[in-house]
Structure 1
Amino acid sequence: MRVEKDFLGEMEISSNVYYGIQTMRSIENFPISGRSIESYPYLITSLAYIKKAAALSNFELGGLTASVKDAIVMAVDEIIDGKFKSQFPVDIYQGGGGLSTNMNMNEVIANRANELLTGKKGYTHVHPNIHVNMSQSTNDVLPSAMGMSLFYHIGDLISCLTQFKETLHQKEEEFQLVVKVSRTCLQDALPITFGQQFSAYRSFISRQINELNRLQEDCLQLVIGATAVGTGLGSPVGYVDVMYLHLSEVSGLNVAKVDNYFDGLQHTDGYVRISGCLKGLCTGLSKMASDIRLLASGPLAGLGEIEIPSVQPGSSIMPGKINPCIPEMMMQVCFDIYGMDQTISIAADRGELELNIWEAIIMKNLFDQFSLLTASIPIFQEKCVSGILVKKEINQHRAESSFALSVVISNLFGYEIANEVVAEAQKRKQTIKHIVVERGLLSAEEAEKSLNPINLTNRE
């Protein structure tokens, strides 16, 4: 064991761990979810980049000796390489505006840096607050690390959606001439093709990718350098300029200072916009999954117009039953994300005065949204959408039999005549085409051309 002390007193810490007394207090205070900040590797990496850039900046400005700077940089590089994955145990639910997260990182770096310099853990040469946290505050470190993390998360989601869009485009091409009855208000409407239906899905995903690209650019507008409240107090003159140069170099990201530090610390509407974009994405993903679920319903008593891959038995009591479990999984992910978005909105709303201190819960829910989406969309794509088959004969028959074809008769002969044709077709259980030929409104050849469903799907 080793002994560490802070403002509140002393505590024995296991000699096997690199975190220290403030991390231990957090472990004791917040045994909430059983999930630690290690669940978010992008956050750990981003925090490490910030600490490395700060060490380089503080050395350049005379605040750190070369040996301390080198030890901090070496410790950070090890963290970035994943060497200390078990050393970030603070719970994702924590009070104090994310202080526990920042100090967990500071303590691990300080203990490892001391070990590199002296062979022992401790703070004789490198202190977590004095040296590792020099020129920083949790208030500017955590949101800056969140912004960088979100940049990575958005990139992952864009890559995921780009692949999904390609699958949808393939289905659009595959089904471009396969006609079906459309539905409005869940009732038969005019014919379209399955290709047109999938073109809507593909266009929707393209639009979400474009929006995510715009949001990703804003993620790298950081508040690092603001310190506690936006004044920069606690950092030396010139720190901001060199910090952003070093942070860009060590991270490879084009980071930049926000226009107004006070705004950046107080307002979290950027997180709300990102969450809102993910919520909007989910509305389309959930609708797509719901559409597929409806069209595949049956096989005898449902719509039964498409087949989706069978991935597991669907009943513990009814042999042979297959459920649309992949679309149902996708829909439940979306339901969960709607709830997370509400949490983020409330947390953004509750910022007070000079700081929004609720970034821990915002971070947790935003990162979880991305994790859920990047995990579920490829499964939805690979185990459902890519394997969809259309029952062409059933769809062709229904399209030819639809009373919605009466729109053509209305255009040719007027609404009242069309009403009469539909009423007679419904009464006699005949098609619109049969009635108009029998009445002599159109010849068989004319009816075949004018009422062919595929000819009605593109009027350009």
Structure 2
Amino acid sequence: MRVEHDCIGEMGIADELYYGIQTERARQNFPVSNTTYEAYPIFLNSIALLKMAAAKANEEIGALPSDIACAICQAAEEIIAGKHKGMFPIDVFSGGTSVNMNTNEVIANRANEILTGRKGYEKVHPNTHVNMGQSTNDVIPAAIEISCYYYFQDLISELECLSNALAEKTKEFNDVVKIARTCLQDAVPITLGQEFSGYYTLIERQVRFCKKAQEACTQLSFGGSAVGTCIGTYPGYLEAVYRHLESISKIPVKCRENIIDGYQNDDGFLLVSATLKSVATGISKISRDFRLMSSGPRAGFNEIRLPSLQPGSSIMPGKINPVIPELMNHICYQVCGNDVAVTMAVEAGELDLNVWDAPLRKCIQESFVLLTNGLKLFTSKCVEGITANREVCRSYAENSLANATVLSAIFGYEKGTAIVKEAYENNESIKVTAVRNKLLTKEDAEIVLDPMVLTDQKKCSEIVEKYKKSLTK
């Protein structure tokens, strides 16, 4: 055991542990969620990057001895490499000071070990050296912004994979005619490829939204110390720390034009969370559509077939459920709920610092992880394996009463309505009814009411124009 002290008193710490007294107090004080910061290594790595940048900047301006700066950087690099797993035992609902000091203590003990061969703060102190020129108030918000930048990279990559898969399905299903549905009622013909093109365009748009939000994550308030006034920093530190941070993080970070604004207002995280909610609602809508289109197989739409992944019932033999779309719905509901918590946390900030960042950090990171992991499964286990039930789709399209829309365009709305009513009462297609009423010959009906033709704006317009002209002769 080694004995450490803080402003409250002393405590014995097992010598194999790299964290110290403040971490142990936080570990004992906040065991509420059974989730520690170990669950979010990107966030811990981002703090380590900030500690490295600060050490290099303080060394450059002559505020920190080179041997201490090098040891701090080595310890931080080890954290990033995953060599100190288990040393971050603090619950995610603890305050920012706890996780900042946890990182400071791990780095200080390891840096001291590098320089002296033993843990402790004889040579490197967690506050004096590792936290030099910093405050929890600038470290933690900057760390979550850097984390969001990295999370966006992974999320965008998965969205682009999904976009590619949807683009392929758009081409594959381009000749599969079916009926569209509005208000869950039969509508005019559409191709399955056209429907998938809407999904593809939605995801492409979400990629653009994510890239815009990611760019906003490069504006930091790091270096402002406690409230943005840069108290406790040395001359030249602010310029140096951003130069080093950009170099080691590979992110084009910049200092905010008004650092104090960054301390007072966390609205940038609202943009991040809202973007994640936008992705979630889009994915949830697509998943809901897939569930409807694949419903059946004998009493549902049965227009598409999803990959069969596992039995769907403990009592009904052979039942297969759309488990991946349902998984995505579950994930997306959680993401939307997380957005509410983030909104409340941002709104609740008072005066010169928003201290309600624990739920904000937890919810945003959870949303990123859920969406990114879920999308990987959605693309590989669902979208890529979708096939079309072509015969069923065409049958629906040929028998849709909404095909009378083209008759209304040619013969007028009242005539179209009468044809629909008669076809419905006789349980027959619009084509059969139109021929029997001598609106069209059988040959013309095959052309005018071809459901595939009705999905083509140019061809459909040409047909309407041609037949309306024939009526005026």
Shorter-chain TM range is over 0.9
Residue segments in structure 2 that go unaligned for 5+ positions in a row: 459-473
Q: Could you say which residue in structure 2 is the equivalent of 1:335?
A: 333
Q: Could you say which residue in structure 1 is the equivalent of 2:42?
A: 42
Query: Where do residues 11-410 of structure 1 align in structure 2 (5 Å cutoff)?
Result: 11-95=11-95, 98-410=96-408
Residue segments in structure 1 that go unaligned for 5+ positions in a row: none
User: What letter corresponds to residue 149 of structure 2 in structure 1?
Assistant: F
Cα deviation for residue 38 of structure 1 reads 1.4
Cα deviation for residue 31 of structure 1 reads 0.8
User: What letter corresponds to residue 40 of structure 2 in structure 1?
Assistant: Y
Q: Could you say which residue in structure 1 is the equivalent of 2:427?
A: 429
Cα deviation for residue 438 of structure 1 reads 1.6
Q: Deviations over 1:375-406 (max 9, x none)?
A: 11111111111111111111111111111011
Q: Deviations over 1:115-173 (max 9, x none)?
A: 11111110111100001000000000111111111100000000000001000000000
Cα deviation for residue 430 of structure 1 reads 1.6
Cα deviation for residue 42 of structure 1 reads 1.1
Identity of aligned residues (%): 49
Q: Deviations over 1:219-259 (max 9, x none)?
A: 11111111000100110121100111111122222111011
Q: Which runs of structure 1 show a deviation greater than 2 angstroms over 4 or more consecutive aligned residues?
A: none
Q: Distance in 2 between matches of 1:226 and 1:245?
A: 15
Q: Distance in 2 between matches of 1:435 and 1:78?
A: 77
SS at match of 1:253: coil
User: What letter corresponds to residue 228 of structure 2 in structure 1?
Assistant: G
SS at match of 2:457: coil
Q: Distance in 1 between matches of 2:327 and 2:77?
A: 39
User: What letter corresponds to residue 271 of structure 1 in structure 2?
Assistant: F
Cα deviation for residue 9 of structure 1 reads 0.4
Cα deviation for residue 27 of structure 1 reads 0.3
Q: Distance in 1 between matches of 2:421 and 2:261?
A: 66
Between Structure 1 and Structure 2, how many residues are aligned? 458
Q: Distance in 2 between matches of 1:326 and 1:289?
A: 8
Cα deviation for residue 349 of structure 1 reads 0.6
User: What letter corresponds to residue 112 of structure 1 in structure 2?
Assistant: R
SS at match of 1:68: helix
Q: Distance in 1 between matches of 2:78 and 2:304?
A: 52
Cα deviation for residue 446 of structure 1 reads 1.1
User: What letter corresponds to residue 394 of structure 2 in structure 1?
Assistant: Q
User: What letter corresponds to residue 253 of structure 1 in structure 2?
Assistant: I
Please report the TM-score for the alignment, with normalisation by the length of structure 1: 0.98
Q: Distance in 1 between matches of 2:241 and 2:309?
A: 52
Q: Could you say which residue in structure 2 is the equivalent of 1:447?
A: 445
SS at match of 1:330: helix
C-alpha RMSD over aligned residues: 0.9
Q: Distance in 1 between matches of 2:248 and 2:302?
A: 55
User: What letter corresponds to residue 233 of structure 2 in structure 1?
Assistant: S
Q: Distance in 1 between matches of 2:231 and 2:134?
A: 9
Q: Could you say which residue in structure 1 is the equivalent of 2:416?
A: 418
Q: Deviations over 1:30-70 (max 9, x none)?
A: 01112111111111111111111111111122211122112
Q: Distance in 2 between matches of 1:65 and 1:279?
A: 46
SS at match of 1:71: helix
Q: Could you say which residue in structure 1 is the equivalent of 2:469?
A: none
Please report the TM-score for the alignment, with normalisation by the length of structure 2: 0.95
Q: Deviations over 1:254-286 (max 9, x none)?
A: 111011111101111111111111111111111
Q: Distance in 1 between matches of 2:425 and 2:56?
A: 85
Cα deviation for residue 421 of structure 1 reads 1.2
Q: Distance in 2 between matches of 1:347 and 1:289?
A: 30
Q: Distance in 2 between matches of 1:209 and 1:138?
A: 32
Q: Distance in 1 between matches of 2:150 and 2:159?
A: 14
Q: Distance in 2 between matches of 1:4 and 1:377?
A: 46
Q: Distance in 1 between matches of 2:335 and 2:409?
A: 46
Q: Distance in 1 between matches of 2:74 and 2:400?
A: 72
Cα deviation for residue 436 of structure 1 reads 1.4
SS at match of 1:190: strand
